[in-house]
Structure 1
Amino acid sequence: MAEADPMIETHAPETKPGNPKRRRALLGIGGAVLLAGVGYGGWYALVGSHHVSTDNAYVGADTAQVTPMVAGQVAQVLVSDAQTVKRGDVLVRIDDSDARIALADAEAALAKAKRQFGQTSATGSSLASTLAAKDQAIAGAQAQLSSAQAALQKAAIDLDRRRKLAPSGAVSADELTSAINSYAAAKGSADNARAALQQAISAKDAAKGDLAANQALIDGTTVVTNPDVLAAQAKVDQARLDLSRTVIRAPVDGVVTNRNVQVGQRLAQGAAIMKVVPIRQLYVDANFKEGQLAHVAPGQKVEITSDLYGAGVVYHGTVVGFSGGTGSAFALIPAQNATGNWIKIVQRLPVRIRLDPRELDAHPLRVGLSMDADIHI
């Protein structure tokens, strides 16, 4: 066994004492991280998991488009951009000269229709009297026919008697000729009386037809319910409505915007001349990521702040519902994910939030402003 070289010294490894300050610092950092993690976990379990929020939210409104219902030249423009108006306030006046003339013409036609109805009613009475007179004419014609038939019968008897006496010479030829002439005259009178009776009957039938036609125009109606009068009244109502539409009024309470009408301008029916934004009926469309909406439902409460007023002003709203599709689904050129290289992009779905009108009165907003929305789920 070899002996150890006395020149070589054997040393045990030295252990450096640890730095207590560094150790305490690391322990402190670790404890802080652990405490922060526990705190965040507790906050998320108690608060964070009950909220979803987004800063991709904007103010919107169902604006009222103001358009003229009748064409014409602008006589007055009584409002300007950014002016607050109430429902029914006059915005624009159109020259109403043509409308007034049209109304006067329609009223004249209505008066004429009423007069014609009165005339038709009076004509009915006149035709009834004429019909009664025709009955009397028929009675007179019948009497004349009876008289003519009696005269004819007498003339026939006289002629027959004389013809029987002529062979014996008791009646002269002149007397027989006179009897023949008398019979012919009586027969002609009877024929004329018979024709006169037929003529009187035909005249009565014509008068009866005229009366029936006249009665058909007025039976079951009055001057108010007569069809011709009703048609004329409808034209008057239309003309009066067109006249009222020459005054364009605000359809809702709100603020005037996009005014593009000037005095003297010729307006076409239906042309857009301005908008009225109902600032007390604003809403917020908040675009949430699809992964945030699992527990969002209509009726949930929302706290909203605006970039305009900052965090010091909090609006309280209510979830109304969800849009029918994401923004990309209704884009002018929708995404074609079935072609080419596809990269999944998280979609956002608009959520409609109703605002409190009283809070809007206290702190008015405008369409398009940016908002932060926090839904309590």
Structure 2
Amino acid sequence: MPQEEVARPTRGGIPERLGSSKRKLALAALVAALATVAAAAWRVAAKPAAPAYDTIAIRRQTIAKTISATGKLQAVTTVQVGTQVSGTIAELYADFNTQVKKGQVIARLDPAQLQAQLAQANANYLSAQANAQGAQNAVLSADASVQAAEANFARAESAAADAQRTYDRNTQLVDAGVGARMTLESSEAALVQAQAQKQQAAAQVNQAKAQAQSARSQLAQANAQVQQTHAAVQLASVNLDHTIIKAPIDGVVVERNVDVGQTVAASLQAPTIFLIANDLTRMQVLAEIDEADVGQLSRDSRVSFTVDAYPNDVFRGRIAQVRLAPQMVQNVVTYTAVVEVDNPDLKLKPGMTANVTAIVAQREDVLAVPNAALRFRPESGGGQQAQRPVLAGHLTVWKVTDEGLVPVSVRTGLTDGIFSEIVSGDLSEGDRVAAASSNGAGRAGAQAPARSIFQTGRTGRR
């Protein structure tokens, strides 16, 4: 019986009995298959990644250019109410938030000391009046003395004239040899005596006039003293009236700086007792505007602002004035803009910090393109380059079409930092443009498809 041939063990799945040539052929086929798989994998890996970007629809909207600043709220009119005299606070009739009317008594000082000063001033005034009356009487007496002296002088002058005539006649008689020498001598003695009496009377007139002049001077001084003491009475009366403190305007008390029993001294500066705001339904914001922005502001520019107390409320006003005086803090120059604000519900309080946004330019119902689309630049790897500054001029945006991205040259106008006005260019409302992906896709090698941040639809790979 012939012996059966037993198959030899296989090597690598190939029966050894196939021989060396067959084994080599099988190995070559295996290597070729592996090479095909590797080549396919390499082609897949080397294929450029599809570009990723957001698509944004061009639309019409309002674009406003704004500047920002901070400021403080305050009442349009505030009045510091003080005291013009020193004293002790005796009564307070107003407190914080008290509504007051003009002329209403809001505080009172202790009047005792000023009442005593008024009484003393009145006494001095009465004394001065009495002195003035005495001086007036002295003037009348001096005038009478002058009149008496003048009358006496007139008599002495007449007597001297008579004595002179008598002496002259006796001299003629003696010279003619018919008169007595003794009579002449007697008339001469009488003349000398009359002339002496005349001189004495003249001196008395001068003395009386001098006394009258002195009396008049004393009267003038007395009258001046009367006026001075009368003024002192009036001043003391006014000071006494100042112990009663009244509201100078209608308004509300926003500050009270004293308490009952406190002493206030007005010798150097009038102390402030109350601060009264005229009308809190109208307020103003004093906004500090940077010198680089102040040239863009104008009167009646619209302003919006927020306050920390009401973060969800936006308040509006208008610029009433840009003050010329600069403010410098740490070498930073600002100018104060006064913003008028209506406050009908009294939400806004004096002293609140306002975050102000002023509209310096505005365009309504214009085609607008996001600034992100102006910065977008496609790359061969599917990404884009950013950080291109947005300026008013000709720029390129990439319009999304069925054929891919098409560059469109546009000229931009006003920008608010997020959107820019399209002044000219081949873009219409509803056109879609590419922008840098908001989720970080778009860098080289990214595999995310393009998508719209305004629309729910997605674009396919380009």
TM over 0.5: yes
Q: 60, 73, 78: which one pairs with 1:59? A: 73
Structure 2: state its 5+ residue gaps.
1-24, 361-462
Give secondary structure in 1 for the equivalent of 2:56: helix
In structure 2, the residue matched to 1:261 is: 259
Letter of the 1:366 counterpart: K
Q: Comparing both structures, which one devotes a greater share of its residues to helix?
A: 1
1:261-280 matches, cutoff 5 A:
261-263=259-261, 265-269=262-266, 270=269, 272-278=271-277, 280=280
In structure 2, the residue matched to 1:96 is: 111
In 2, the alpha carbon distance for the partners of 1:262 and 1:273 equals 14
Please tell me whether residue 142 in structure 1 is matched to residue 157 in structure 2: yes
Are the counterparts in 2 of residues 301 and 319 from structure 1 also a CA contact under 8 Å? no
In structure 2, the residue matched to 1:199 is: 200
Q: 334, 339, 342: which one pairs with 1:354? A: 339
Q: Comparing both structures, which one devotes a greater share of its residues to strand?
A: 2
Letter of the 1:74 counterpart: I
Q: Residues 350 and 255 (structure 1 numbering): CA distance in 2 closer, same or farther, change over 3 Å?
A: farther
In 2, the alpha carbon distance for the partners of 1:351 and 1:283 equals 12
Letter of the 1:244 counterpart: D
In structure 2, the residue matched to 1:35 is: 56
Are the counterparts in 1 of residues 304 and 314 from structure 2 also a CA contact under 8 Å? no
Q: What do the CA deviations read for 1:189-247 (whole angstroms, capped 9, x no partner)?
A: 5443332221111112223344455667889xxx9xx7555444433332222222222
Q: 247, 251, 259: which one pairs with 1:250? A: 247
Give secondary structure in 2 for the equivalent of 1:139: helix
Letter of the 2:337 counterpart: R
Are the counterparts in 2 of residues 74 and 95 from structure 1 also a CA contact under 8 Å? yes
In structure 2, the residue matched to 1:71 is: 86
Q: 99, 112, 137: which one pairs with 1:84? A: 99
Letter of the 1:250 counterpart: A
Tell me whether 318-327 or 88-97 shows the greater mean CA deviation: 318-327
Are the counterparts in 2 of residues 302 and 374 from structure 1 also a CA contact under 8 Å? yes
State TM-score, norm by structure 1: 0.63
Q: Residues 34 and 67 (structure 1 numbering): CA distance in 2 closer, same or farther, change over 3 Å?
A: same
In 1, the alpha carbon distance for the partners of 2:338 and 2:353 equals 14
Q: What do the CA deviations read for 1:45-79 (whole angstroms, capped 9, x no partner)?
A: x4232x3345x443245754443321222222222
Structure 1: state its 5+ residue gaps.
166-178, 330-346
Are the counterparts in 2 of residues 285 and 351 from structure 1 also a CA contact under 8 Å? yes
In structure 2, the residue matched to 1:334 is: none
Letter of the 1:140 counterpart: R
In structure 1, the residue matched to 2:209 is: 208
Q: Residues 372 and 154 (structure 1 numbering): CA distance in 2 closer, same or farther, change over 3 Å?
A: closer
Give secondary structure in 1 for the equivalent of 2:108: strand
In 1, the alpha carbon distance for the partners of 2:201 and 2:192 equals 14
After TM superposition, give the deviation of residue 133 of structure 1 in Å.
Answer: 3.0
1:169-188 matches, cutoff 5 A:
none
After TM superposition, give the deviation of residue 106 of structure 1 in Å.
Answer: 3.3
In 2, the alpha carbon distance for the partners of 1:237 and 1:258 equals 30
Are the counterparts in 2 of residues 138 and 200 from structure 1 also a CA contact under 8 Å? yes
In 1, the alpha carbon distance for the partners of 2:197 and 2:328 equals 94
In 1, the alpha carbon distance for the partners of 2:72 and 2:163 equals 108
Q: Residues 286 and 205 (structure 1 numbering): CA distance in 2 closer, same or farther, change over 3 Å?
A: closer
In structure 1, the residue matched to 2:372 is: none
After TM superposition, give the deviation of residue 88 of structure 1 in Å.
Answer: 3.5
Are the counterparts in 2 of residues 261 and 274 from structure 1 also a CA contact under 8 Å? no
Q: CA RMSD in A?
A: 4.7
Give secondary structure in 2 for the equivalent of 1:47: strand
Number of equivalenced pairs: 317
In structure 1, the residue matched to 2:327 is: 325
After TM superposition, give the deviation of residue 300 of structure 1 in Å.
Answer: 1.6
Give secondary structure in 2 for the equivalent of 1:302: strand
In 2, the alpha carbon distance for the partners of 1:135 and 1:320 equals 80
Letter of the 1:95 counterpart: D
Are the counterparts in 2 of residues 319 and 351 from structure 1 also a CA contact under 8 Å? no
After TM superposition, give the deviation of residue 293 of structure 1 in Å.
Answer: 4.5
In structure 2, the residue matched to 1:132 is: 147
State TM-score, norm by structure 2: 0.53
Letter of the 1:307 counterpart: D
Letter of the 1:242 counterpart: N
In 1, the alpha carbon distance for the partners of 2:104 and 2:314 equals 32
After TM superposition, give the deviation of residue 80 of structure 1 in Å.
Answer: 2.6
Letter of the 2:326 counterpart: G
In 2, the alpha carbon distance for the partners of 1:147 and 1:104 equals 65
Q: Residues 97 and 187 (structure 1 numbering): CA distance in 2 closer, same or farther, change over 3 Å?
A: farther
In structure 2, the residue matched to 1:283 is: 284
Are the counterparts in 1 of residues 83 and 273 from structure 2 also a CA contact under 8 Å? no
In 1, the alpha carbon distance for the partners of 2:300 and 2:169 equals 113
In 2, the alpha carbon distance for the partners of 1:363 and 1:82 equals 12
Q: Residues 228 and 297 (structure 1 numbering): CA distance in 2 closer, same or farther, change over 3 Å?
A: same
Tell me whether 123-132 or 238-247 shows the greater mean CA deviation: 123-132
Letter of the 2:339 counterpart: R
In 2, the alpha carbon distance for the partners of 1:57 and 1:311 equals 18
Letter of the 1:102 counterpart: Q
Are the counterparts in 2 of residues 289 and 349 from structure 1 also a CA contact under 8 Å? yes
In structure 2, the residue matched to 1:170 is: none
Are the counterparts in 1 of residues 167 and 184 from structure 2 also a CA contact under 8 Å? yes
After TM superposition, give the deviation of residue 276 of structure 1 in Å.
Answer: 0.7
In 2, the alpha carbon distance for the partners of 1:287 and 1:134 equals 86
In 2, the alpha carbon distance for the partners of 1:267 and 1:309 equals 39
Letter of the 2:155 counterpart: G
